[in-house]
Amino acid sequence: MISKDLDLAVKILEDDGVIGFPTETVYGLAGNIFSEKAINNIFNIKKRPLFNPLIVHLKSIEELGNVASEIPEIALKLATAFWPGPLTLLLPKKDCIPDLITAGKPTVAVRIPNHPMALSLLRRLEFPLAAPSANPFKRISPTKAQHVENYFGSDIEMVLDGGICKTGVESTIVGFDNSEVIIYRLGGISVEEIKKITKKVTIFNKNNDSPEAPGMLLKHYAPKTPLIFTKNIAEEISKNKNKKAGILLFGQSNLKLPDNFQQIILSESENLEEATFRFYESLHLMDEMNLEVIISQPFPDTGLGRVLNDKLSRASFE
Q: What is the pLDDT along the chain (318 residues), one digit of tens a residue?
A: 999 999 999 999 999 999 999 999 999 999 999 999 999 999 999 999 999 999 999 999 999 999 999 999 999 999 999 999 999 999 999 999 999 999 999 999 999 999 999 999 999 999 999 999 999 998 999 999 999 999 999 899 999 999 999 999 999 999 998 878 999 999 999 999 999 999 889 998 888 878 887 887 777 888 999 999 998 888 888 888 889 999 998 887 777 888 888 899 999 999 999 999 999 999 999 999 999 999 999 999 999 999 999 999 898 877
Residue 114 assigned as binding residue:
no
48 is in an annotated binding site: yes
Domains of the chain: 2-203 (3.90.870.10), 227-315 (3.40.50.11030)
Residue 90 near residue 174 (C-beta atoms within 8 A): yes
- The pTM (predicted TM-score) of the whole model is 0.94
Binding site annotation covers 208?
A: no
Q: Is 151 annotated as a binding residue?
A: no
What is the secondary structure of the chain as a DSSP string?
A: -EE--HHHHHHHHHTT--EEE--SSS-EEEEETT-HHHHHHHHHHHT--TTS--EEE-S-GGGHHHHBS---HHHHHHHHHH-SSSEEEEEEBPTTS-HHHHTT-SEEEEE----HHHHHHHHT-SS-EE--BSSSTTBPPP-SHHHHHHHHGGGSSEEE---S-SS-SPPEEEEEETTEEEEEE--SS-HHHHHHHHS--EE----SSS-SSTT-SSS-SB-SS-EEE-S-HHHHHHHTTTS-EEEEESS-------TTEEEEES-TT--HHHHHHHHHHHHHHHHTTT-SEEEEPPPPSSHHHHHHHHHHHHHT--
Q: Is 221 one of the annotated binding-site residues?
A: yes
- Are 67 and 94 in contact by the 8 Å Cβ rule? The answer is yes
25 is in an annotated binding site: yes
**Residues 27/144, Cβ–Cβ less than 8 Å:** yes
Q: Is 139 annotated as a binding residue?
A: no
111 annotated as ligand-binding: yes
Question: Is 131 among the annotated ligand-binding positions?
Answer: yes
Q: Is 179 annotated as a binding residue?
A: no
35 is in an annotated binding site: no
Instruction: Find the helix packing angle between 303-315 and 191-198, rounded to 10°.
Output: 130
Specify the pairing of strand 158-160 against strand 19-21.
parallel
